[in-house]
Amino acid sequence: MSLRTVQDSPVGVTANRQLTRPRKKTSPLGRQPLGLLFSAPYVVYVLGVLAFPLGYAVYISFHDYFFTAPGVQVDRPFVGLDNYVTILSDPAVQRSFLNILIFLVINVPLTVGLSLILANALNRVTRLRTFFRVSYFVPYITASVAVVGVWLFLFQENGLVNVLLGPLAPDPSWLVSSWLAMPTVALYVTWKQLGFFILLYLAALQNIPEELYESASVDGANKWAQFWNITVPGVRSASVLVTLLATITGANLFTEPYLLTGGGGPDGASSSPVFLMYQKGILQGNPDVAAALGVVLVLGVLLVALIQKRLVGGKED
Amino acid sequence: MARFKPHQEKTEKRRNLTVGSFLMLAVGAFVFLFPFYYMLIGSLQASPDTSVAGAFPNPANLSLENYTEINDRISLLIGLMNSGIFTGGVILCTVVFGLLVGYALAQMQFRGRGVVFGMMLLVQMIPFQLLLIPLYVMIARDYGLADSYLGMILPFAINSTAVFVFRQYFLQLPASLFEAARIDGASELRILWQIAIPLVRPAIVTAILLTFIGPWNEFLWPFLITKDAALQPLAVSLANYISNIAATASNPFGAILAGACVLAAPAIALFIFFQRQFISNNLGSSVKG
């Protein structure tokens, strides 16, 4: 921000030169109107590919919309909330929202807890620090399609995980059990995203002044008390961000139910709203219903995010 | 003397704590890395071995058969090439148009700058799942861009996080530098090309890395838009193999893992090579944002 101020109020040489050349200031489009041209491709992209479809999604969700050949003019009547009624009364949709809830209940606390603990440990250790950072980050940068392959191998009926568990192996196995399919997906996503969240916490931890810990230990607070009373409140804004991002990831699940549990199986026990959007909108040709599902999903995420911000954010906000 | 003892006790406690942290991190690293090691081992096994011994390389059971097996069903080379074109297109658009708008936002005074800046921040909050259906309707149906590289690239064309990174880097350059060049009569495009861009080279590396993992790993969108196998990025053809074809193969997991290794290798190699930029900047931009 300080740079901004310098730029906005030119001093010294620059100011003198401007006094001699007042002509430049007269343009109604600013001193460098060419900036508009430089920004134009990006603005066109944002409006055409992001902003317009956003409105279009809402439009589609309120109309009886179906696919036609390009250029064909058809009547697509306004149907009010019909699509929303269809979506909300569909048991498969209700199940998918329940699945997301199960996912969030497992994934969010696990993500926040584990990434904070590991970031805290990483902040303390100097040896092999780069190695640890890199190894935690590798799952995050790898394609989900690739990693799903190895999870399928590990968690199949007679895979290594069940071999190691021996008699404790769940029956039916992880990915084909209606009880364990969604928790396994949640576990998978936690594992895959954790590295990114560790980095977020690491940055937040480095902003906590060392003196706080020093004075706390002079006052006789043990490490556990320091963790709860200094570290946890110190990274609160990062925690808000981590919960929010983890929730958005959860709402966006598609690849995992599609590949890991073979299309949201068993019997819809791990299907997700985005998977149903694909199924209903594109496979079954009901884009109107799918768009309504998208709108409901986004509203749901907003609601959950607001609740989380209240819970995690504390009173300062 | 009275101060010496508690101090010593404290350092010892701290050392125990560090050892504990180190062990925890080591366990973590194992959990994060083992699946990748297992991916490689599994891809080289002639017949799948899920016993504990199977986690170690066994010379009698090693072969490259799985790679030829999957290559016969989905051409890995074509998949890699399509992933490359898709990713390259996104990176090209992001760098060219992102540098332009990033420079304008940081160093040019023009009407509407605040609007563009606000737009850039807001865009990062648009949930992709909401755009899924309208984008499919528009791009695949209305514009007839299904089964084309353009259709694949369009929704990701300019990465807004990269635009933000460019703007931040350009903002750190002194404004007087640009004022001086303008007074000397240099055009804005020339200032950008000859003065600004050479000074923000690290930003370009960061933006490329940041942008790369998006389209390279993206599955949902190219999956919707490409039905023609000759145009599918590797993530899509591998996913199709997993869900449709694998069941008919002699060693399905071996073939899946072989494909997974080919898909994962470029991203991991790039990441390890540039890990410094990746970690510090990815972090910086997301926290600041």
| Residue A97 · residue A253 · CB < 8 Å | no
- In three-state form (DSSP H/G/I as H, E/B as E, the rest C), the secondary structure along A17-54 is HHHHCHHHHHCCCCCCCHHHHHHHHHHHHHHHHHHHHH
**What's the average model confidence in pLDDT over B226-233?**
93
Alpha helices, DSSP H, located in B74-159: 76-107, 113-123, 128-135, 149-153
Residue A47 main-chain phi, psi, to 5 deg:
-70, -45
Give me the half-sphere count of Cα atoms (radius 13 Å) on the Cβ side of residue A92: 19
Residue with tokens 């921040």: B121
- pLDDT average, residue stretch B110-122: 92
| A24 pLDDT more than 90 | no
Asked if A273 and B253 come within 8 Å (Cβ–Cβ), the reply is: no
Alpha carbon A205 to its chain's center = 21
**How many Cα atoms within 13 Å fall on the side-chain side of residue A232?**
12
**What's the pTM?**
0.87
- Residues of chain A positioned with their CB less than 8 A from the CB of B289: none
**pLDDT tens track for A239-257:** 988 898 889 888 889 999 9
> Which residues, in sequence order, are bridge partners of residue B62?
B45
Domains of chain B, by residue range, sit at 14-63, 75-253+260-288
Spatial contact of B215 and B90, defined as CB atoms under 8 Å apart: yes
Q: Of A140, A208, A204, A247, nearest to B278 (Cα)?
A: A140
Domain B75-253+260-288 falls under CATH 3.40.50.300:
no
- By CB neighbour count within 10 A (0-12 exposed, 13-18 middle, 19+ buried), where does A22 fall? exposed
pLDDT at A47: 94
Residue with the bigger pLDDT between A9 and A46: it is: A46
Q: Which two tokens stand for residue A199?
A: 């980095």
Q: What is the pLDDT of residue B7?
A: 56
Say whether A203 and B98 touch across the interface (CB within 8 A): no
Residue A63, beta-bridge partner list:
A78
When mean pLDDT is compared over A199-208, A301-310, B123-132, B147-156, the highest value belongs to B147-156
β-bridge mates for residue A78, sequence order: A63
Whole-number pLDDT of residue A70? 66
Residue A112 pLDDT class (50, 70, 90 cuts): very high
Mean pLDDT of chain A: 86
pLDDT band at B278 (very low <50, low <70, confident <90, very high): low
What's the CA gap between B104 and B120, in Å, rounded?
Answer: 13
Give the CA distances from residue B116 to residues A35, A44, A182, A214, B262, in Å, rounded to whole numbers and listed in that order.
Answer: 11, 11, 41, 45, 40
pLDDT of residue A98: 94
Q: In the numeric block, which tokens belong to residue A188?
A: 């998978």
Architecture of the domain made up of A85-313: Orthogonal Bundle (1.10)
Residue-level pLDDT at B274: 86
pLDDT of residue B171: 92
Q: Is the dihedral of CA B75, A188, B36, B87 positive or negative?
A: positive
Task: Centre a 10 Å sphere on the Cβ of residue B175 and count the other Cβ atoms it contains.
Answer: 18
Half-sphere exposure for A317 (CA within 13 Å, toward CB):
13
Q: How would residue A317 be classed by pLDDT, with cut points 50, 70 and 90?
A: very low
Average pLDDT over residues A156-183: 88
pLDDT band with cut points at 50, 70 and 90 for residue B280: low
Interface probe, candidates B9, B16, B25, B122, chain A, greatest A C-beta count within 10 A = B25
pLDDT band at B120 (very low <50, low <70, confident <90, very high): very high
- CA gap A100, A253 in Å, rounded: 9
User: Distance (Å, rounded) from C-alpha A275 to C-alpha A149?
Assistant: 19
DSSP B218-273: --HHHHHH---GGG--HHHHHHHIIIIIGGGSSSHHHHHHHHHHHHHHHHHHHHHH
Tokens, residue B164: 């933000």
- Over residues A57-81, the pLDDT tens digits come to 999 999 998 887 766 777 788 888 9
Summarize pLDDT for A255-267 with one digit per residue, the tens. 999 998 888 878 8
Residue percentage of chain A with pLDDT more than 90:
48
Interface of B with A in 40-99 (CB under 8 A): 42, 48, 50-52, 54-55, 97-98
A78 three-state secondary structure: strand
CA distance from start to end of chain B: 50
Q: Chain B partners of A160 at a C-beta cutoff of 8 Å?
A: 38, 50-52, 54-55
pLDDT at A219: 87
CA geometry: angle A156, A182, A174, nearest 5 deg: 20
Strand positions, DSSP E, chain B? none
Share of chain B above pLDDT 90, in %: 62
In the predicted structure, residue A16 carries a pLDDT above the cut 80: no
DSSP single-letter state for residue A180: T
Please tell me the predicted confidence (pLDDT) of residue A15: 44
Q: In angstroms, what separates the C-alpha of A179 from chain B's closest C-alpha?
A: 22
| Each residue's pLDDT tens digit, B67-106 | 998 998 889 999 999 999 999 999 999 999 999 999 999 9
Give B185→chain A minimum CA distance, Å: 13
pLDDT at A36 over 80: yes
Among the partner residues A142, A204, A295, nearest to B268 by beta-carbon distance: A142
Report the alpha-carbon distance of residue B261 to residue A183 in Å, rounded: 26
CB A135 within 8 A of CB B24: no
pLDDT tens per residue, range B15-37: 777 888 899 999 999 999 999 99
Q: What is the three-class DSSP state of B45?
A: strand
- What's the token pair of residue B271? 């990441």
Average pLDDT, chain B: 87
Closest-CA residue of B relative to A194 is B32
* CA–CA min distance B34, chain A (Å): 10
Q: Is the dihedral angle over the CA atoms B212, B214, B220, B226 positive or is it negative? A: negative
Question: Higher model confidence: residue A128 or residue B15?
Answer: A128
The predicted structure's pLDDT at residue B107: 93
**Spatial separation of the C-alpha atoms in residues A258 and A276, rounded to whole Å:** 10
ipTM score: 0.86
B45 forms beta bridges with: B62
Asked whether the beta carbons of A254 and B200 are under 8 A apart, the reply is: no
